[in-house]
Amino acid sequence: MKTDQFQAPDYYNLDDLLTDEHKLIRDSAREWIKKEVSPIIEDYYERAEFPKQVIPGLAAIGGFGPYIPEQYGGPGLDQISYGLIMQELERCDSGLRSTSSVQSSLVMYPIYAYGNEAQRMKYLPKLASGEFIGSFGLTEPDHGSNPSGMLSNFKDMGDHYLLNGAKMWISNAPFCDIAVVWAKNEEGRIHGLIVERGMDGFTTPETHGKLSLRASATGELIFDNVKVPKENLLPNKSGLGAPLGCLDSARYGIAWGAIGAAMDCYDSALRYSKERIQFGKPIASFQLMQKKLAEMITEITKAQLLTFRLGQMKNAGTATTAQISMAKRNNVAMALDVAREARQIHGAMGITNEYSIMRHMANLESVVTYEGTHDIHLLITGMDITGIPAFK
């Protein structure tokens, strides 16, 4: 069993800007990861399986709905604490962070923000404790970047809704207890519905053959005349803005998470370059190696500062969708670049499961696509600065 030797890079003393509570939350998550998850993650990644035994631990570190108030079972933390937890989880594996992101921002957030009190009380405490795992169904086979074209639909049958359609590429789907599903009513307006496992006509086949995010379970949500009780419709927000509002929160978490993956790759590359001897010297002594390492820490530091400021704006309630898009796009691209450079620094060893680099690199190929692709986020920035949407 490998020892997790991670030491977090903090070149601009970001710790000085964190409160004692932030540091406690971050360090608890870090210690839990080192002890409970790092020793098993490569094995689960290779088996293409989510390690379900970590669910109670994820709940204990605040990984499910970090900012959900205590009255609904959440830890009631601020947005920087949420970000720091995502950073630590993705430092270990993007799939681990995915499970937490989906549960927190794509399932608990819409129930909290768009649900009624009965829905909050029924679902949030069980989601916070990990007794229930949720999934979020927006993407469809023919509607990924353009969810407004979705075909999933429901009809009012008097005493219930009848839901039909299919969602694809859904994290946590194969073992979710509930799904927050976005579908159109008879007038074509998008609404969120809570669908529970066990409802007749609801199935969740697993997606196989993924070469990325293998430690996270991905699947479909299929609705074949599913009778959904009327009390399961989220009443307080409709239209595409409802799911996009959830994405704001999840994309913010990814911006922090991607930094975690980059920090792990950099830390591993720095250590390896000082230990690996070639031509009679550590490879860290060659200028080309120092260029790679210096550029990696520079980009990580810039992303840390961008994201900390975004966290302050999230706490103040002023962060815009476009500001979140910029951070998600920048940080994931930065992490991919760092992972690729780190892979080279490790030479042949970099392609093995002795190191986390190749796993991070493959995972980040999903992260750069989900929650809005790299190019969609560029277009969101473009629209924000010019006032002209260039999506269609």
Binding site for ligand FAD (CB under 6 A): 102, 136-139, 144-145, 169-171, 213, 218, 366, 369-371, 373, 375-376, 379, 391
Return d(Cα 383, Cα 392) in angstroms, integer.
Answer: 12
Of residues 55, 81, 88, 87, the one with CA closest to residue 66: 81
140, 167 Cβ separation under 8 angstroms: yes
For ligand TGC, the binding residue among 321, 340, 378, 384 (CB under 6 A) is: 321
Which two three-digit tokens encode residue 87? 């950073």
Catalytic option among 220, 299, 341, 371 = 371
Residue 102 touches ligand TGC, criterion: CB under 6 A: yes
- Let me know the angle formed at the C-alpha of 369 by 368 and 370, rounded to the nearest 5 degrees: 105
Return d(Cα 22, Cα 304) in angstroms, integer.
Answer: 15
Q: Specify the residue, 148 or 373, whose C-beta has the smaller distance to ligand FAD.
A: 373
Residue 207 touches ligand TGC, criterion: CB under 6 A: no
CA 249 → CA 87, 204, 205, 332, distances in Å? 14, 25, 27, 16
Which two three-digit tokens encode residue 366? 């999903």
Residue 381 touches ligand TGC, criterion: CB under 6 A: no
Smallest gap from Cβ 98 to ligand TGC, in A, equals 3
Active site (annotated) includes residue 196: no
Residue 78 touches ligand TGC, criterion: CB under 6 A: no
- E strand or H helix that includes residue 168: strand 160-171
For ligand TGC, the binding residue among 21, 24, 224, 391 (CB under 6 A) is: 391
Residue 232 touches ligand TGC, criterion: CB under 6 A: no
Sites for ligand TGC among residues 345-374 (CB under 6 A): 370-372
Smallest gap from Cβ 294 to ligand TGC, in A, equals 31
Of residues 241, 255, 93, 97, the one with CA closest to residue 171: 97
DSSP assignment string, 68-130: S-GGGTS----HHHHHHHHHHHHHH-HHHHHHHHIIIIIIIHHHHHHS-HHHHHHHHHHHHHT
Partner that binds at residue 11, options ligand FAD, ligand TGC, none, CB closer than 5 to 8 Å by kind: none
Residue 141 touches ligand TGC, criterion: CB under 6 A: no
Q: Specify the residue, 351 or 390, whose C-beta has the smaller distance to ligand TGC.
A: 390
Alpha helices (H) along the chain: 20-32, 38-47, 55-60, 79-92, 94-101, 109-114, 117-129, 241-275, 287-316, 321-345, 357-367, 374-386
Return d(Cα 387, Cα 305) in angstroms, integer.
Answer: 27
Partner that binds at residue 264, options ligand TGC, ligand FAD, none, CB closer than 5 to 8 Å by kind: none
Residue 138 touches ligand TGC, criterion: CB under 6 A: yes
Residue 171 touches ligand TGC, criterion: CB under 6 A: yes
Partner that binds at residue 369, options ligand TGC, ligand FAD, none, CB closer than 5 to 8 Å by kind: ligand FAD
> What residue ranges bind ligand TGC (CB under 6 A)?
98, 101-102, 136, 138-139, 145-148, 171, 239-241, 244-245, 247-248, 321, 370-372, 376, 380, 391
State the catalytic residues: 371
